[in-house]
Amino acid sequence: MSMRIALVVPSFLPQVGGAEFVVHHLACQWTRQWHQVLVLNCLSDKVTEPGADYAVRKFTLLRGATRFGYHRFPFAWHARKKLQRLLYAFNPDFISAHMAYPTAIWLSGLRPKQNFIVTCHGADITPYEYDGYRSLFNIDKVLVKALNQAKGVIALSRYARGILQELGVQSDRILDIPNGVDIERFQKRVECDIRAKLGLPAHALMIISVGRNNPAKAYDTGIRAFAKVLAEIPSAYYIILGKGVEQWNSLAEKLNINSHVMLLPGLYGDDLVAAYQQADIFFSPSIEEMFPLVVLEAMAAGLPCVVTDISGNQDAVENGSNGILVQPGQPDEMANALISLLSNKSLRIAMGTDGRDKSSQFSWERISQLYLEHRY
């Protein structure tokens, strides 16, 4: 049965981020399933992704909301008023809300007649000072109250479930649904020679990390681990792709490995797909993840993973099967794992094949259906 589905998210494409891509992929899948889909957000009123069949509408925020708090008067009042008009006009059968803060707070205040389920993505529920609204605005009480008014609250990983339970979200409201991956995109063959494009030798062994720079990514630890790798394997190169990663140029220079470290704002389209497909190892030295899309993308492309043994990574990578789990903050252990894989091509191929096979359980087609199973 065809439905009208509204997705509500503060930010949307062309702003690039995990939540934005999750909303995009869910919207694409639901339109393919013959549902009418509308994305409501505070950034854009245009569809920016080629081939997307969903609609996009923008509602405005008062200036100062980012600084003083989206949940405070008059900022929340204004956002609710604008959002309510769009929801009333569209009259959805189901609302998929993204980001506990501020979206859940806005919707709980509106009390829409339709059920809404909230997906928590990271900074909206993490308690850390460097990357979270909870410590910035001291919103725990208002946040848990809003989440407990939702039909369900989606935890992307075991780590996310633990945070929600500690916050006070009722256990029977928490739904365990991971992120997904566009398998077709990352398994299609592309013509781009990524080594040639980046100016690397044809025989270069490529380690890649993907993700914007923030303290949780621990790229400094990754670069220190790579310095140990390079001392053993001179043909190794480390490419980090993400906004702000250029910050670590000085560390690479200090360690005298800058000729083998490339720090780029990002690769896009087929260039990114080629990087995943043609690299030798995906590497994540993170100290905290909710459920990283980039690990799923690497798996779908057939790339073996060396990632930290933290929730999020643990939910996707099985140690010794499709990758190697290492302890966060331990560059020696990371280096040993990277060296072991770089020195064993057959093991890399076997782990990459296993990861490609495992990625099918994270297809967006399957994940989008799990969302709809909980709408009543």
| 8 Å CB contact between 46 and 18 | no
Q: Are residues 28 and 149 in the same domain?
A: yes
Q: Are residues 162 and 189 in the same domain?
A: no
The tokens describing 290, both together, are 């909710």
Q: Are residues 223 and 95 in the same domain?
A: no
Burial 291-308 (b: 16+ CB within 10 A, else e): bbbbbbbbbbbbbbbbbb
Domain final position from 177, 210, 226 = 177
**What was the pLDDT predicted at 130?**
58
Q: Are residues 162 and 187 in the same domain?
A: no
**What was the pLDDT predicted at 16?**
83
Q: Are residues 73 and 187 in the same domain?
A: no
**What was the pLDDT predicted at 131?**
63
E strand segments, 197-334: 205-210, 236-241, 261-264, 281-284, 305-308, 323-326
Statement: the pTM of the whole predicted model exceeds 0.85: yes
Rounded to the nearest 5 degrees, what angle is found at the Cα of 301, between the Cα atoms of 204 and 360?
160
Domain final position from 161, 177, 193 = 177
**What was the pLDDT predicted at 311?**
87
**What was the pLDDT predicted at 63?**
94
Q: Are residues 123 and 187 in the same domain?
A: no
CATH code of residue 193: 3.40.50.2000
Q: Are residues 229 and 339 in the same domain?
A: yes
**What was the pLDDT predicted at 335?**
98
Can you tell me which residue has the tokens 């003083």?
A: 68
Residue type at position 276:
Y
Residue 68 lies in a domain: yes
Residue 375 lies in a domain: no
Q: How many residues does the chain have?
A: 376
- Listed as ranges, residues in the chain with pLDDT below 50 are none
| 8 Å CB contact between 2 and 36 | yes
Q: Are residues 212 and 267 in the same domain?
A: yes
Q: Any residues with CB less than 8 A from the CB of 234 and at least 6 apart, and which?
A: none
d(CA 195, CA 136): 42
Residue 143 lies in a domain: yes
Residue 197 lies in a domain: yes
The tokens describing 234, both together, are 């001179």
Q: Are residues 258 and 190 in the same domain?
A: yes
Residue 262 lies in a domain: yes
Q: Are residues 95 and 207 in the same domain?
A: no
Report pLDDT digits (tens) over 326-344.
999 999 999 999 999 999 9
Residue 373 lies in a domain: no
Domain assignment of residue 215, given as a range: 183-361
Residue 371 lies in a domain: no
| 8 Å CB contact between 206 and 274 | no
Domain final position from 177, 202, 235 = 177
What order of strands is seen across the sheet that includes strand 174-176? 55-58, 36-41, 4-8, 94-98, 116-119, 152-155, 174-176
Distances (CA, A) of 192 to 115, 283, 296: 45, 22, 21
Q: Are residues 235 and 144 in the same domain?
A: no
**What was the pLDDT predicted at 27?**
98
Tally of domains in the chain: 2
Residue 370 lies in a domain: no
Distance spanning both ends of the chain, measured CA to CA: 14
| 8 Å CB contact between 356 and 276 | no
Q: Are residues 49 and 130 in the same domain?
A: yes
The tokens describing 297, both together, are 């993308």
